[in-house]
């Protein structure tokens, strides 16, 4: 009996020690988990505080810069100009241009070294850093690929890249493209195309993914996120969506689809891009009758209100090329720049800037375009430049 009690006592003691050991280990694990969790929370809070401080500093720097600018300098910032082949330096300086859009004529006779030198000379001539852009969607829309060995391999269309290797291929393609753009001093490629077009006969089809809204949305989100990593400006186009409509480069185009169709299909890729942090959105010249049947989208206030208020976009809104027939056949070039700004654009893509800028300044003096609206647009443009490292 004594032996049994002794054995029982020893067993009980061992069990007690094991339980205490397990409790100690569990307590240690729990404490380590708490410490890890607390550390992660503190790290996130610290990151948020740093981001908040960075944004506050950026905001103040932009406001300080704007306080030194004249009305003429502010208005000039709102023009992404296509400049004649001669007199570029004078055009940049005299008009205080915000950006320079490279076209085929700007690059076709250049070598890599000469193009870098040319772009550097434009930046050196400008009081404020220029936003240098070039249409580089790929496929049929690429300027650098048409140059003199400016790229080792022509940029493929997103449709071809996606069909070959899916979204991972899109990311890799953007990484390569961004490296080339940055090497030349180009900050924006005016892509991705967010249009949903499924008819192979449609004008815009070859420039899109050629798939439905869901797949297009995934492509746009992936593109915007990768461009943000690469510090290259993203531009979603052509709001509110081209669909299978005709070509507004050559004629006035009416889009007669209902608003429900636009919301259920065309808006979706733009929403995905906005949520991913898109820097800018380009508005088409199509007359979208379900929103505004009176004027092209690029000069329509209701269209811009949908983009700002319904889709919640706070970045830079830019026009498509003002020389396109869809707008040029509707309104004079002189009036078009002011009309676009009044509608809600922040950046005018134009070769008629020399007549449009004085007209905008006159509009400010006469009160048709307010200084408050001017300052909001200038702020957005400067913030976009700051986000890709143009403003230090």
pLDDT value, residue 16: 47
Rounded to an integer, the average pLDDT of 133-161 is: 92
Residue ending a domain, among 68, 90, 117, is 68
Stretch 369-375: mean pLDDT, rounded?
Answer: 98
Relative to beta strand 136-138, strand 141-142 is: antiparallel
Predicted local distance difference test score (pLDDT) of residue 30: 62
Query: Quick one: 83 and 46 in the same domain?
Result: no
Structure tokens at 335: 């009036």
Report the CATH number that the domain containing residue 166 is assigned in CATH. Answer: 3.20.20.300
Distance CA 84, CA 98 (A): 16
Q: Are 60 and 86 contained in the same domain?
A: no
Q: What is the mean pLDDT of residues 86-94?
A: 95
Confidence label for 342 from pLDDT (cuts 50, 70 and 90): very high
Mean pLDDT along residues 224-250: 91
Q: Which of 51, 68, 85 is the last residue of a domain?
A: 68
Distance CA 63, CA 69 (A): 10
Over pLDDT 90: what percentage of the chain? 75
Q: Which domain holds residue 340?
A: 71-387
Domain tally, the chain: 2
Q: Identify whether 351 is part of a domain.
A: yes
pLDDT digits (tens, 9 = 90+) for 313-341: 999 999 999 988 889 889 999 999 999 99
In a domain, 307, yes or no: yes
The mean of the pLDDT values for the chain is 90
Is the full-model pTM beyond 0.85?
Answer: yes
Please indicate, yes or no, whether residues 89 and 57 belong to a single structural domain of this protein: no
357 and 309 in one domain?
yes
How many Å apart are CA 146 and CA 156, to the nearest integer?
12
Confidence of residue 228 (pLDDT cuts 50, 70, 90): very high
DSSP strand pairing (287-288 vs 316-319): unpaired
- Statement to judge: residues 99 and 214 lie in one domain: yes
Could you tell me if 37 and 77 lie in one domain?
A: no
d(CA 265, CA 162): 20
Q: Which of 10, 37, 68 is the last residue of a domain?
A: 68
Same domain, 79 and 43: no
What digits encode the pLDDT tens for the residues 174-192? 999 999 999 999 999 999 9
pLDDT confidence bin for 249, thresholds 50/70/90: confident
Q: What is the pLDDT of residue 181?
A: 98
pLDDT winner (highest mean) among 24-38, 65-79, 194-208: 65-79
Show Cβ contacts of residue 107 under 8 Å, excluding neighbours closer than 6 positions: 115, 134, 143, 144, 146, 147, 150
Do the domain assignments include residue 293? yes
Q: Which of 310, 253, 251 is nearest to 286 (CA)?
A: 253
Contact 91, 81 (CB under 8 A): yes
Say if residue 63 is in the same domain as residue 146: no
- Do 54 and 97 sit in the same domain of this protein? no
- Tell me if 239 is assigned to some domain: yes
**Residue 330 included in any domain:** yes
Q: Are residues 123 and 237 in the same domain?
A: yes
Are the CB atoms for 184 and 116 separated by under 8 Å? yes
97 and 54 share one domain: no
3 state SS for the chain: CHHHHHHHHHHHHHHHHHHHHHHHHHHHHHHHHHHHHHHHHHHHHHHHHHHHHHHHHHHHHHHHHHHCCCHHHHHHCCEEECCCCCCHHHHHHHHCCCEEEECHHHHCCCCHHHHHHHHHHHHHHCCCCCEEEECEEECCEECHHHCCCCCCCCCCCHHHHHHHHHHHHHHHHHHHHHHHHHHHCCCECCCCECCCCCCCCCCCHHHCCCCCHHHHHHHHHHHHHHHHHCCCECEEEEECCCCCCCCCCCCCCEECCCHHHHHHHHHHHHHHHHHCCCCEEEECCCEECCCCCCCCHHHCHHHHHHHHHHCCCCCEEEECCCCCHHHHCCCCHHHHHHHHHHHCCCEEEECCHHHHHHHHHHHHHHCCCCHHHHHHHHHHHHHHHHHCCCCC
**Is residue 392 in a domain?**
no
Range of weakest confidence among 6-15, 218-227, 355-364: 6-15
53 and 173: one domain? no
pLDDT at position 253 is: 86
């Amino acid at each position: 009996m004594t032996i049994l009690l002794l054995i029982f006592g020893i067993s009980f003691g061992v069990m007690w020690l094991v339980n205490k050991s397990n409790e100690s280990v569990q307590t240690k694990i729990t404490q380590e988990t708490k410490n890890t969790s607390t550390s992660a929370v503190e790290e996130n809070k610290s990151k948020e505080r740093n981001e908040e401080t960075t944004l506050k500093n950026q905001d103040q720097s932009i406001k300080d810069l704007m306080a030194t600018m004249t009305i003429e300098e502010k208005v000039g910032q709102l023009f992404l100009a296509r400049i004649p082949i001669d007199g570029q330096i004078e055009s940049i300086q005299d008009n205080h241009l915000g950006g320079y859009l490279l076209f085929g004529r700007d690059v076709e006779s250049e070598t890599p070294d000469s193009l870098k030198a040319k772009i550097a000379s434009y930046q050196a001539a400008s009081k404020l850093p220029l936003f240098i852009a070039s249409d580089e969607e790929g496929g049929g829309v690429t300027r650098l690929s048409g140059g003199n060995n400016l790229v080792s391999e022509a940029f493929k269309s997103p449709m071809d890249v996606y069909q070959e290797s899916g979204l991972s291929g899109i990311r890799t393609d953007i990484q390569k493209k961004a490296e080339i753009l940055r090497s030349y001093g180009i900050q924006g490629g005016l892509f991705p195309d967010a249009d949903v077009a499924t008819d192979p006969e449609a004008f815009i089809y070859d420039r899109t993914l050629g798939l439905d809204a869901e797949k297009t949305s995934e492509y746009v989100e992936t593109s915007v996120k990768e461009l943000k990593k690469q510090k290259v400006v993203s531009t979603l186009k052509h709001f509110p969506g081209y669909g299978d409509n005709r070509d507004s480069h050559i004629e006035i185009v009416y889009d007669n689809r209902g608003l429900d169709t636009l919301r259920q299909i065309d808006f979706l890729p733009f929403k995905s891009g906005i949520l991913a942090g898109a820097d800018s959105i380009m508005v088409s010249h199509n007359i979208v009758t379900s929103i505004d049947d009176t004027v092209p989208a690029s000069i329509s206030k209701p269209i811009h209100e949908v983009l700002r208020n319904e889709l919640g976009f706070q970045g830079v809104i830019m026009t498509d090329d003002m020389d396109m027939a869809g707008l040029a056949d509707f309104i004079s070039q002189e009036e078009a720049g002011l009309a676009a700004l009044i509608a809600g654009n922040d950046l005018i893509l134009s070769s008629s800037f020399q007549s449009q800028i004085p007209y905008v300044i006159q509009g400010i003096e006469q009160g048709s375009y307010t200084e408050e609206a001017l300052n909001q647009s200038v702020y957005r443009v400067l913030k976009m430049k700051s986000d890709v490292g143009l403003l230090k």
